[in-house]
Structures are given as structure tokens and as C-alpha cells.
Structure 1
Amino acid sequence: MQTKEDFKLFVEFDDGKRVIYDVNSDMNDIPSYKELKKITGLFNSVQVDASRTCVYWIDDIDLPSDIIYEYGESLD
């Protein structure tokens, strides 16, 4: 997983599927996600949880991997 410009994530899944997921719409719809724009460097601190079922930034901001998989823009 890598962060990209304009609040996008590049994710490659175990099955080889590669996607770009745009977090901007989540930041507009989910109040806690607004912190990703407000706090300098927070977006780039994204991590994968130990179970590999979501990515997260802080306790209030996480994103399930199945959402990324389903709604990310496929690069394949």
C-alpha cells in the first residue's frame, strides 16, 4: 500500500488485484475523516491492521479492505 497525491491510496491485494482508492469522498461524507486534511502528515501515516482486514490512521479513522477492493479504481 502507498499513499498518492490528492488523498488517494494505491493498494495491491493478495490475489494480485491493484486499485487506486480515492479517500476524498469519505472525507466529505464521514466527519472523522476530515482530520486527514486538517492534520498535516496524518494521511501519509496510514497502516494496515494486524488482521489485514482494514487500513487505519488513528482510532477514529479506519477503512475496511473489502470497501477498498470493491470501490477502488482497478488498475488491471
Structure 2
Amino acid sequence: MIPRIKSVNDRNDYKLEVLFDDGKRVLYDVKEDINQIPDFKDLIAIDGLWKQFALDESRTCIYWNDRIDLASDSVYEYGKEI
């Protein structure tokens, strides 16, 4: 089953606090993706892009544009539980 996201909050410093439908809450550090995935570098390079994240209609993806997104299952697995 794909975990569905209930809410996403910006914690600054390229971290997201994500709450899932099952109650699990994680802190996901996007800096690791920025350092490893070329398209993610735009989150730093383009002023204001970081603040423009959104949740897709199915609530299984956080995205910024058509090239930068995070699947909910990755966030669920690799986020630090808080």
C-alpha cells in the first residue's frame, strides 16, 4: 500500500515535516537529494522555488515542478521519524 500524505510543512533549511494518514510523522531532509540529483539543485538556485511545493491530488507525491518531486513511499521510508 502506498502511504498517503496528510500534510506537509516547511521546516526551513530544506527540510520537510510530513504527516501521513497512518499517523507517522517524519522529517525529510531534501538536502541529500539536492546534493545527488541535478534537477533538485534548482531548489537552491531559483529564488523562491523551495517554498512552492505542493501535494498532488492522490496525496502520494510532493512536487515543485514537472522535474522535481518526491514520492510518498520514499519520504515514508527515508524520513527521520519524529
TM-score normalised by L of structure 1: 0.96
Q: Which runs of 5+ in 2 are unaligned?
A: 1-7
Spell out structure 1 runs of 4+ moving beyond 6 A.
none
- Percent identity (aligned): 53
1:69 is paired with a residue whose SS is helix
1:5 is paired with a residue whose SS is coil
The runs of 5 or more residues in structure 1 that have no matched partner are: none
2-structure distance, mates of 1:17, 1:62 = 20
* Correspondent of 2:56 among 49, 59, 66: 49
Give the whole-Å Cα distance in 2 for the aligned partners of 1:56 and 1:29: 17
AA aligned opposite 2:22: D
* CA positional deviation for 1:3: 0.8
